[in-house]
Structure 1
Amino acid sequence: MKKIVLLALIIASFFSCQRNIKNEKDNVIAEHIDFDIPKINANKVVNDKADLLGYWVGEFDVNEKAADTSYKYDDDYSKKITFSIDKIEGTKIIGHSVVGGNIEKFEGKLINYTDDFEIHVKEPNSKTSNGKFVLNIAKNDSILKGDWVPYTKSNKVLQRKLSLKKKFFVYNPKNKIMFNYFDSEKFNVIKDTFYEEDSLGNTISSEAYEDQAYFTTTDTIFHLNPSTELFNKELVENLSKGDIFILRNLIFARHGFSFRDKMLRRYFDNIEWYMPVFSDVTKELTDIEKKNIDLLLRYEENAKEYYDVFGR
């Protein structure tokens, strides 16, 4: 029977000497954008313009009806977005969006109709990847819907549709992950040979074959908590690279860090409690989390690389 081998890949360190979170590909943190923390209104149902203040979270999906059929959809077809309404001054609305590891300010106007509110805001037009939002919410409703339209059309920047619900960010060190991380883009080709034997154990024939071994985690990640348990070297030295990678980034996810790495975004975006809110959370880390991050980083490079399907 073919052996299925799971390859754990070395992931670049996430910290500089100032403990800044680094991106796997370009080794820089997301551009830091200063913004006003919204004076969050606790009402999830909107009847007054003050009820709009706060974080609105949901899917940032490609709008297929508006997309040119010649466009080539990238792997970021769907992302999670946090649309933050920070201030409302008369008819002027000010805020910022957090999506794909990027934070962009926006401002525009709020129209107060008899039965609904309409929001028209624009991001800075200095970037070709930016655009404008047109959103609407009926009064006595809790879902903000609409579109984002890019300033420049291309096969990588597509018009998006949004359906958002108001959420409140709360750091919870006990937030859990419920499924394994699997990176289909990181693999190695494993060469092996299949041997057919007779009843006496003699080889009748052999056939060379190739398998793909992927970067993944084991079920160990479901039983460890890097935010509340102080890890020791005996524990960490037996973890796979994938386990270390996710346990380390779980700490940042709990603090609302907006990941730039596509596969990390895809993994955490599918977790209900996760909210991308901040570009840098290093000042929010607890003492236990800082110590665990340091320990995990020391062992990540030399962690075991190969695991079979059972994680042995």
Structure 2
Amino acid sequence: MQNFKQLLILTVGLATSTFSFAQTMQIAPSWTGLYNDEQKISLFFQQNGTDVSGYSLLNGKQTNFKGNMQATDTSYKLILNEVGQGADIGKFILEFKSNAAPIEAQWLPTSKSVKPKFFSLDAQQCKYAKGQGDFPETSTRLLKDGDLQVARGELEYMRNEIYARHGYAFKTKEWANTFALYDWYMPCYTNVEGRLSKIERENVKRIKLVEPYAQMTDWGR
């Protein structure tokens, strides 16, 4: 009888411990990954116990969501409903094991006219991607005339790479697709003008002045 009581106490203690762990499990505040094999999506979380709110950034658009975290036998499930109306509103279902493991994610639309998405997310912080990209010098020194004697497509790339290093969430599909290929790029902000350095602002200005005179040829990438 004594052994049975001890077993019962141990079982109840484990159940209470598991419940407490589920209540206090903290998910990393920011995650990113390829949403549709072409564009990156970033999710940002605020957590209060099992209640989770935040927003996603995709195609330069911020969409808020809220929901909760549920414990399963082997992981945690986040069900997050987007706030708003329209065919592009739905919910995220995220399978979360730890901040060191990818999140297996799916997005399910409220409208049957929109295709659901299945993708993975990795924990990543928003930070300036110093020295990254093909033209890091555009952020460290003023560009001279010799630097700008290139095709217009290359000039456009140089200019947008400055914004990409600061985590700009591109609204145009072309540039969103282009920088989604790089691990260092994470869409974090819908506006980064205030984050540009004096050198970067001047280089953006110089590139824009030269672009109308550059030959419009494909840049071999």
TM-score range with shorter-chain normalisation? Answer: 0.7 to 0.9
Show the counterpart of 1:23.
none
> Equivalents in 2 of 1:93, 1:166: separation in Å?
16
Greater helix fraction, Structure 1 or Structure 2: 2
Show the counterpart of 1:210.
none
Show the counterpart of 1:259.
170
Show the counterpart of 2:141.
229
| Alpha carbons of structure 1 residues 295 and 113: separation in structure 2 relative to 1, 3 Å | same
After superposition, residues 194-205 of structure 1 pair within 5 angstroms as none
User: What is the identity percentage for the equivalent residue pairs of Structure 1 and Structure 2?
Assistant: 26
- Deviation of residue 140 (structure 1)? 7.9
Per-residue CA deviation, residues 221-279 of structure 1 (Å, 9 max, x unaligned), is x5x6211121123432x221111100000000000001111111111101111101110
Match of 1:247 among 158, 178, 198: 158
CA contact (8 A) 1:132 1:149 kept: yes
Question: When the two structures are aligned, how many residues end up with a matched partner?
Answer: 199
> Which structure exhibits the higher relative contact order, with contacts defined as CA atoms closer than 8 Å and separated by 6 or more residues?
1
After superposition, residues 69-108 of structure 1 pair within 5 angstroms as 78-85=38-45, 87-108=46-67
Show the counterpart of 1:219.
none
CA contact (8 A) 1:125 1:151 kept: no
- Deviation of residue 103 (structure 1)? 1.2
> Equivalents in 1 of 2:219, 2:35: separation in Å?
36
After superposition, residues 120-269 of structure 1 pair within 5 angstroms as 120-139=79-98, 142-154=101-113, 157-177=114-134, 225-236=137-148, 238-269=149-180
* Alignment TM-score, normalising by the size of structure 2: 0.81
Greater strand fraction, Structure 1 or Structure 2: 1
Q: Secondary structure of the residue that 1:301 maps to in structure 2?
A: helix
- Deviation of residue 123 (structure 1)? 0.9
| Alpha carbons of structure 1 residues 78 and 239: separation in structure 2 relative to 1, 3 Å | closer
Match of 2:35 among 52, 56, 60: 60
Once superposed, which parts of structure 1, at least 4 consecutive aligned residues long, lie more than 4 Å away? 306-309
Letter in 2 for 1:160: K
- Deviation of residue 124 (structure 1)? 1.6
Q: Does 1:284 align with 2:190?
A: no
> Equivalents in 2 of 1:307, 1:280: separation in Å?
28
Unaligned runs of 5+ in 1: 1-46, 62-76, 178-221
> Equivalents in 2 of 1:165, 1:285: separation in Å?
26
| Alpha carbons of structure 1 residues 262 and 109: separation in structure 2 relative to 1, 3 Å | same
> Equivalents in 1 of 2:213, 2:165: separation in Å?
26
| Alpha carbons of structure 1 residues 128 and 292: separation in structure 2 relative to 1, 3 Å | same
CA contact (8 A) 1:148 1:160 kept: yes
